[in-house]
């Protein structure tokens, strides 16, 4: 389970404990010396069913192919967290669950993520410039406040 906020992970951890589900934590409060033992416990102890990670600590440099589910407690601009599970060596189908609140800023983040993915895919596919202008327009629709504030400067 990934979250930007340790407080969110605290609440999830309490609920897991109450339900009798063992978990380990990997966040900014875990010392460098303890990080590898925490990962080893998640990877090798079948009783530990959940790893709770902050996006800052768990988004880069980890391989978590032992996991088959990813829960993103709130959207994030980058999707590096999912790459921890979708790695070479992953032998199972990975299920991703994203939590968000309808009609909120989180929806805008998700729309922007999708626009960026579409634009990157388009640019890497080698299409002509007219279609690229349409794709940039779609990205601007996803971020009207940001684009407009930059244009006014």
pLDDT in tens, 56-70: 876 556 777 788 888
Judge if 111 and 94 occupy the same domain.
Answer: no
- Residue 106's alpha-carbon distances to 64, 103, 120, 146, 150, in angstroms, are 26, 8, 21, 15, 21
Q: How many CA atoms lie within 13 A of 71 on its CB side?
A: 11
Instruction: Read off the pLDDT of residues 112-146 as tens digits, 9 standing for 90 and up.
Output: 877 888 888 888 886 555 554 554 454 444 444 44
**CB 146, CB 111: distance < 8 Å:** no
pLDDT of residue 15 exceeding 80: yes
Judge if 91 and 116 occupy the same domain.
Answer: no
Do the domain assignments include residue 38? yes
Using only C-alpha atoms, the chain has a radius of gyration, in whole angstroms, of 19
Share of the chain above pLDDT 70, in %: 70
User: According to the model, what pLDDT value does residue 67 have?
Assistant: 80
Do the domain assignments include residue 16? yes
Do the domain assignments include residue 151? no
- Structural domain including 44 reads 2-98
Tokens of 104: 């909120």
Judge if 21 and 87 occupy the same domain.
Answer: yes
Judge if 40 and 74 occupy the same domain.
Answer: yes
Give this prediction's pTM.
0.65
DSSP 69: E
Q: How many domains does the chain have?
A: 2
pLDDT of residue 83 exceeding 90: no
Judge if 30 and 78 occupy the same domain.
Answer: yes
Helix (H, G, I), strand (E, B) or coil at 50: strand
Q: Helices (H), strands (E): how many in the chain? A: 7, 5
**CB 70, CB 43: distance < 8 Å:** no
Do the domain assignments include residue 152? no
Q: Give strand pairing partners of 7.
A: none
pLDDT of residue 28 exceeding 70: yes
Q: What is the mean pLDDT of residues 67-88?
A: 70
Judge if 87 and 109 occupy the same domain.
Answer: no
Do the domain assignments include residue 150? no
């Amino acid at each position: 389970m990934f979250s930007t906020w340790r407080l969110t992970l605290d609440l999830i951890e309490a609920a897991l404990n109450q339900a009798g589900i063992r978990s380990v934590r990997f966040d900014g409060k875990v010392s460098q010396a303890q990080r590898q033992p925490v990962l080893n416990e998640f990877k090798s102890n079948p009783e530990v069913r959940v790893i709770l990670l902050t996006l800052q600590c768990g988004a880069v440099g980890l391989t978590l192919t032992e996991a088959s589910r990813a829960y993103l407690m709130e959207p994030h601009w980058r999707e590096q967290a999912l790459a921890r599970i979708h790695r070479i060596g992953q032998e199972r189908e990975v299920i991703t669950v994203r939590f968000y609140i309808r009609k909120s800023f989180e929806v805008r983040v998700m729309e922007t993520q999708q626009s960026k993915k579409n634009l990157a895919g388009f640019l890497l596919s080698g299409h002509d410039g007219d279609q690229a202008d349409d794709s940039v327009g779609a990205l601007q629709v996803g971020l009207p406040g940001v684009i407009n504030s930059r244009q006014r400067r």
